[in-house]
Homo-oligomer: A and B are copies of this chain.
Amino acid sequence: MEIISEEILGQTIRAREPMSHKGNYGRVCLIGGDQHYGGAIILASQAAVHSGAGLVTTATMKVNHGPLHARLPEAMVVDWSESDRLTTSIQQATVILIGPGLGLATDSLTLLKRTLMLLTKGQICLIDGSAITLIADYRLTLPDGPTYIFTPHEKEWERLSGLLIENQDRESNRLSVNQLKGIVVLKKHRTEVYLADGIWQNPLGTAAMATGGMGDTLAGMIAGFVAQFPLNNAILAAVYLHSYIGERLGKAHYVVLPSELITHISSLMKRFEGN
C-alpha cells in the first residue's frame, strides 16, 4: 500500500490548453436527490462544477430544481421522471455519478437499473450512497464496458462486499474489489483507494469533516476530476484535495461545512496546478 502525497495534485491538475473549450472538460451527469435528500445531489453538483467539469447536468426529482438553480445556475437540470430526456443525458455524458440522495424507494431502484442498462464502453460511472446499497440489496449486475468507481463508507462496503467492518483488512478488500471489477474508494478515517494495480491510502482528513453532506461532496469532486484528468490520478487527487481543503478549513472551524469546502476547490486546484 502506498500513501497519496501532495505531488499527485501537480501531476494530475495540469494547466489547461489555451485553445481548449468546455467540451474538452467532460460532460458529467449526476443522478440523485429524492424528496428527502435533495441537498445531497445539490452538493455533489456544486462540487463537480467547482472542480472544473465542462458541462454538468443534474437529474433529480423536480422539487429539487429550484434550490439547485438558486445555488448553482451553472448546472442544467432534468426531472428524473422524464425518461427520454434522462436517457439522452446519460448517453451524452462522459461521466455518470449516481447515488447522492437517490434513496431506496422502488423508483430509485428502477432509475438505477435503467441507468446501468444505458451505460456504454468508455463511460465512467461513479456509484455512491444509496446506489451502493441498492446494488448490494438487489444483487444487481453491472454491464461490462464502462469503468466503475464505487465510493462506499465502511457500512456500505460491508453491504456490497459482504465483509463485516471488522474483517475489512486490505487483503480481503482487495479480493472483493477484484470481483467487482471496479475501483473502490473506501471512505473511512484514512480513506483507501483500491485501483486495479495498487492500493493507496489518504494521509489527510480531520474529524471536523465528520458532518452530513461531506461524502456527497467528495463524490462530486471525483466526478469532476475524472471528467478532466486521467482516471487513476484523478481519483487520488480528488480524494487528497478534498481532505486537504477540509484540514485547512478545520484549522479555523470546529466543523467544516461541505458547502463552504466547495468554494475553495477551484482556488486550491490552481495553487497546485502542474505545468
Task: Spell out A's residues near B (CB within 8 Å).
Answer: 13, 16-22, 24-25, 35-40, 42-43, 46, 49-56, 63-79, 85, 153, 189, 206-208, 210-214, 251-259, 266-267, 269-270, 273
Contacts and interface: CB of A to CB of B under 8 A. Distances in A.
Nearest to A266: B253
A73 B259 contact: yes
A37 B75 CA distance: 8
27 contacts: A18-B189, A18-B207, A20-B207, A24-B210, A25-B210, A36-B76, A37-B76, A38-B69, A39-B77, A42-B69, A43-B73, A50-B257, A54-B211, A63-B65, A64-B69, A66-B70, A70-B70, A73-B259, A74-B257, A252-B267, A253-B266, A254-B266, A254-B267, A254-B269, A254-B270, A255-B266, A257-B266
B255 A50 contact: yes
Nearest to A214: B22
A70 B73 contact: no
